[in-house]
A and B are shown apart, each in its own frame.
Chain A
Amino acid sequence: MSVENAPVVDVDEAAIPVEKKMYYRFESNDKKEFRVSELAIQQSETLNRLVEAMGYTSEDVENKPAIAIENIDGKTLKLVFQWCEHHKGEAIPVDDGSVPKIVEIPEFDAKLMDIDNGLLFKLIWAADYLNIVQLLNVSCKKVANMAQGKTPAQLRRVYLLPSDEEDEAAKRAAQEAQDPRAREVEEEFEERKRQGGNSFF
């Protein structure tokens, strides 16, 4: 029978068994627990693959301990899961290669990220860690927006970029800490270069 000829049947929606929504339990490194819907978890590629691999039933979720996320504190994880719940069901964006990348920060995200830079820093680390593409996009866009209208000197201050001299000093200190002989070798090399030698050996 073709589709066109199939009989039309009224469906009693109430009679259809509604699939029970599943919530997972996660615990931050400071022992704060969160219940997150299965759909919201799909925003995080890492967590999504994790719960799929675990194969928990609803009973397992209730009876077994919460899944520990050791590297993220409760304050940050709360923001992450708030974001995931708000954006649940949305498609994961794909980079279209435009220059510069076009990222709009929705109002909800802007309010969510109205936080101090310390927490924003942790949020980005968490988004990267949990592989939440769109959260990473919007949070990084917020960081990029800090560059607007700034001179190199201002950017150095805002982004805490060390000057070349500071970088050199840090490199020397690291080398010395690792191998006290390294600096002597480097100085010897520089001296030979100054004397016009082509080969160090």
Chain B
Amino acid sequence: MGVCYSKLLKTTFNSSKYSYDVNWSPEWSPTPKTFPLLRLPFLALLEVFKSLDPIELFILSQCSRKAASSIHFVGSKKWKLSVDVREQSININDIYRVAITESSIKPTWIYDRRMKMLFVKYQKNENNKLELQKVLSQLQSAFRCPVTSFEYNGFWKSDQCWVSVLKCIVQNQVQPLESFVLTRSWKMEDLERALQNVKVSRQIRIRIHASSFLRLDLMMFKSCKCIELSFSWLTISDLDVFMEEWKAGNLPSLRYMLIRNDGFHWYWYDQILGFKRDEMKQLGARRKLVIDENLSVDECTGGVDIQADNGRKATIQMDRVSDSWFKLFVWNN
């Protein structure tokens, strides 16, 4: 009497995980150096994907729509993207990098495994502003993961490409950005429109140089842990209103804020939470604020201690020399 493995299997296991006799078909006629990847059983296919690094997975995703739609099986939660518009690059998990560069020859992709960097070279044409956006869409489509960080440092040249890239990000994900860093933009209406739509959970840093009369409503950043604004054109009165909101407990996430100005103009009646300028300039013990394991900010060197209605303790400090900055440090209880 022969013992049939498959029959025994059915009687031994009640698990529905295995369907041995239904689709088990490893028949395939090989040709040298080819391998039918998508004909592997699901778990094996997953193992192959797990062994590929993110750049290799991305290259694989470009083979066909079917291949692209399989990549996310590895697990979308494993991936996050960071976009740097000026550098024309996208980082994956802060380790792997896709750099988009112009080329005079035909478009090529070169992967430097040692540097963990993929060079996407495209031919210069009128649509080259869209190249970063295109590659970002391809990455998001393959990995089905969010962009967590957006950075544009257009200090030396003005390029409105960042607006369309940011728009693309905001439209494609509900998850807020963790970090948003913007340095200089000539078109203020673009900036204001962008900031109306973008949501940031962790860190926002905006440095607008030579732009006129940018008085952003600070409350639009109320979900951030860390706010840094330079050349803000905000007034002491604006800061007072904002600090009243903080005191009332309407900014529970905020841990640090730095507002720079060419020089805050103080009128004799100006105060912030009832404190005069000189009170906030006092020297004191040096304290460092650690916001989270990857984010700490410069040291608090004095100022005046305050407390919100919910008991949260903080320190506000004004630049002692030229009134050019105002800082808020919110301490851990």
Residues of A within 8 A of B (CB): 46, 49-50, 53-54, 64-71, 95, 97, 99-101, 103, 116-118, 120-122, 124-129, 136-137, 139-141, 143-152, 155-164, 167
Contacts and interface: CB of A to CB of B under 8 A. Distances in A.
B1 interface: yes
A149 B111 CA distance: 7
B35 A120 contact: yes
Given A121-B26, A127-B44, A160-B34, A152 B59 contact: yes
Nearest to A27: B2
Given A100-B52, A159-B60, A162-B64, 14 more contacts: A49-B13, A50-B5, A54-B8, A64-B3, A120-B35, A136-B43, A140-B44, A140-B50, A143-B37, A148-B56, A152-B63, A158-B34, A160-B34, A161-B66
A74 B24 CA distance: 16
Contacts, number: 163
A129 B135 CA distance: 38
Interface of B: 1-6, 8-9, 12-13, 18, 20-21, 24, 26, 28-30, 32-41, 43-44, 47-54, 56, 59-60, 62-67, 78-79, 93, 109, 111, 113
- Of A124, A126, A156, most B-chain CB atoms within 10 Å: A124
A70 B9 CA distance: 11
Contacts of B6: 70-71
B198 to A, nearest CB: 27
A69 B50 CA distance: 29
Contact of B8 (A50, A99, A121, A158): A50
A71 B109 CA distance: 42
Contacts of B40: 121, 124-125, 128, 143
A45 to B, nearest CB: 11
A129 B36 contact: no
- Of B20, B30, B43, B63, most A-chain CB atoms within 10 Å: B63
A97 B75 CA distance: 10
Contacts of B111: 149
A2 to B, nearest CB: 46
B48 A143 contact: yes
A134 to B, nearest CB: 11
Contact of A151 (B2, B28, B53, B59): B59
A107 to B, nearest CB: 18
Contacts of B39: 121
B21 to A, nearest CB: 8
Contacts of B5: 50, 67-70
B26 A50 contact: no
B143 to A, nearest CB: 11
B327 to A, nearest CB: 38
B111 to A, nearest CB: 7
B30 A121 contact: yes
Nearest to B109: A151
B35 A65 contact: no
Nearest to B49: A144
Of all A-B residue pairs in the complex, the 3 with the closest CB atoms, nearest first, are A118-B30, A144-B51, A140-B47
Contact of A53 (B8, B48, B62): B8
A160 B64 contact: no
A100 B162 CA distance: 31
Contacts of B67: 161
B321 to A, nearest CB: 48
Contact of B63 (A49, A120, A155): A155
A103 B109 CA distance: 26
A117 to B, nearest CB: 5
A46 B9 contact: yes
Nearest to B92: A99
A141 B8 contact: no
A147 B30 contact: no
Contacts of A117: 30, 32-35
A121 B12 CA distance: 27
Contact of B36 (A49, A121, A149, A150): A121
Contacts of B63: 152, 155-156, 159, 161
A10 B2 CA distance: 49
Given A141-B51, A152-B63, A124 B44 contact: yes
B64 A144 contact: no
Contacts of B38: 159-161
A118 B29 contact: yes
